[in-house]
Structure 1
Amino acid sequence: MAFDKDTIIASLKEASITDLSDLVKAIEDEFGVSAAAPVAAAGAAGGDAAGAKDSFDVEMTESGDAKVKAIKAVREITGLGLKDAKGLVDNVPSVIKEGVSEDEANDIKEKLEAVGAVVTLK
């Protein structure tokens, strides 16, 4: 039996959606495969990879009105001296801490937001 892909493609172009759906089901039954499985597996794997993040950077985007409190909070969080902490607060946006766990990042965010700063996690 000769296999002519051009003839098959031409036939598929003329077929209705219902006919094509029936054809897919027949091929799945005949060969014991599923047309949907590879697509679903790829989508699930991509979703898991995107959702899992190990480390976060805490960035202060606005220091707020209480800069002195923000400086104190930054010193407490980072262990920096007064001059360095003031530099971070005065020159926002600035990364306060890099590569921290999600829990630590959220704790830092809460401390900074408590003194009026605006913080994002990246």
Structure 2
Amino acid sequence: MSTTTNEIIEKLKSITLLEAAELVSQIEETFGVDASASVGANFVQATGDSGATGQETIEEKTSFDVILEDVASDKRVAVLKVIRNLTSLGLKEAKEFTTSLPKAVKESISKEEAETAKQQLEEAGATVKIQ
């Protein structure tokens, strides 16, 4: 390795995870590239530094649950229709589903699918959260 490369490597060994994340963001912007989350984890493993400052690598959540918290009584029919569209429940099962809330309408789904389901339920009159 050249002297410049060795100097860069030594400097990288001394920065914190927060500084490394900022560096990755700047590299992405400058060179128009996209660094995946696994690259960051490999960097930590390769340097043998799991956060000398007490910071831990946080993995981005990839599966989400859509939790139905409450249904306005005047919006119950509209919410039941959305629940039936989102699930394979019949009318009777959908009604029973809403009797003891909060409950998960959809589990272990993508963030986009969870956001769509939440939007549909909220437009129908339900109170929803994503976990």
Partners of 1:95 and 1:80 lie apart in 2 by 13
Does residue 53 of the first structure (1) align with residue 30 of the second (2)? no
Unaligned 5+ segments in structure 1 are 1-32
The C-alpha deviation readout for 1:1-42, integer Å capped at 9, x for no partner, is: xxxxxxxxxxxxxxxxxxxxxxxxxxxxxxxx78x936x132
What is the number of equivalent residue pairs in this alignment?
86
Partners of 2:98 and 2:78 lie apart in 1 by 10
Structure 1 residue aligned with 2:117: 108
Partners of 1:92 and 1:103 lie apart in 2 by 23
Secondary structure of 2:56's aligned partner: helix
Contact 1:70 1:89 in 2 (8 A): no
When normalised by structure 2's length, the TM-score is 0.58
Structure 2 residue aligned with 1:83: 92
Secondary structure of 1:90's aligned partner: coil
Secondary structure of 1:97's aligned partner: strand
Task: Pick closer, same or farther for the CA change 1:47–1:113 going to 2, 3 Å.
Answer: farther
Structure 1 residue aligned with 2:128: 119
- Superposed CA RMSD in Å reads 2.5
Higher-Rg structure is: 1
- The percentage of aligned residue pairs carrying the same residue is 32
When normalised by structure 1's length, the TM-score is 0.62
Structure 2 residue aligned with 1:98: 107
Structure with bigger helix share is 1
Task: Pick closer, same or farther for the CA change 1:47–1:86 going to 2, 3 Å.
Answer: same
* Segments ≥4 residues shifted beyond 4 Å: none
Does residue 37 of the first structure (1) align with residue 47 of the second (2)? no
The C-alpha deviation readout for 1:83-108, integer Å capped at 9, x for no partner, is: 11111222211110100000000000
Contact 1:63 1:90 in 2 (8 A): no
